[in-house]
A and B are shown apart, each in its own frame.
Chain A
Amino acid sequence: DAKTTQPNSMESNEEEPVHLPCNHSTISGTDYIHWYRQLPSQGPEYVIHGLTSNVNNRMASLAIAEDRKSSTLILHRATLRDAAVYYCILRDVGTSGTYKYIFGTGTRLKVLA
């Protein structure tokens, strides 16, 4: 089962910031928090990931709570091209110590023109 919970859907106006929340209350000390997004009919695309400190890249920012039980993906200025399903996932340990990644249902972001 997915180790994260996200709202099913969110809406944002174009050119405004978007804050996408994710809860991961069972996170362990070594779990990285990954965010991906999936456009229609495409494979998921990496957005950002982090461990403890807030992270920034050209696509987004990731704000991680001090207790690491939640995080927020921040899109600073939403565009119509940002309309997608956003997934927040944690790395899980499978058989033989292998890392596996279980996706939940994600948050469907709708951007209004």
Chain B
Amino acid sequence: SQTIHQWPATLVQPVGSPLSLECTVEGTSNPNLYWYRQAAGRGLQLLFYSVGIGQISSEVPQNLSASRPQDRQFILSSKKLLLSDSGFYLCAFIQWDGSYNSPLHFGNGTRLTVT
């Protein structure tokens, strides 16, 4: 079966520090990968999505970036965090079943607090 792992679960970082969040998927090949952010009390905001290694589409550029160095690895980064980057970061994937019609599967998320 397919699983998705995110780490760390919680993170407290000072303003101006760098960020690296990692997401890995197991049990499937060629997944579509997604990064979402949820601010406190708000809905999910799509940040980035990827169809393959090195292929990244951005919805909200800001000061965040994403990379996909391997088929089942998705990384969210920032060079300098802002207070507004605080939130709940979620990675998700859709497995390739011949059509990408299967549902999104989410990880458990990383709760980031920028102080």
* Complex contact A103–B43 (CB within 8 A): yes
Quote the shortest CB–CB distance from B21 to chain A (angstroms): 14
Quote the shortest CB–CB distance from B85 to chain A (angstroms): 18
Binds B, one of A21-29, A42-50, A60-68, A71-79: A42-50
CA distance A61 to B88 in the complex (A): 29
Extra A-B contacts (4), CB below 8 Å, given A44-B92, A100-B34? A34-B103, A94-B49, A98-B51, A99-B100
The count of residues in chain B whose C-beta lies closer than 8 Å to any C-beta of chain A is 27
Interface residue range, chain A: 20 to 34
A residues with a Cβ closer than 8 A to B are: 32, 34, 36, 41-46, 49, 87, 94-96, 98-106
Which of chain A's residues have a CB closer than 8 A to the CB of B34?
100-101
Quote the shortest CB–CB distance from B9 to chain A (angstroms): 10
Interchain CB contact (< 8 A) of A101 among B57, B104, B107, B108: B104
B residues with a Cβ closer than 8 A to A are: 32, 34, 36, 42-46, 49, 51, 55, 57, 59, 88, 90, 92, 94, 100-101, 103-109, 111
CA distance A1 to B37 in the complex (A): 15
The chain B residue with its CB closest to the CB of A100 is B49
Which of chain B's residues have a CB closer than 8 A to the CB of A49?
103
* Complex contact B59–A43 (CB within 8 A): no
* Complex contact B104–A36 (CB within 8 A): yes
CA distance A42 to B38 in the complex (A): 11
CA distance A30 to B8 in the complex (A): 37
CA distance A94 to B51 in the complex (A): 11
* Complex contact A43–B90 (CB within 8 A): yes
CA distance A94 to B111 in the complex (A): 27
* Complex contact A96–B51 (CB within 8 A): yes
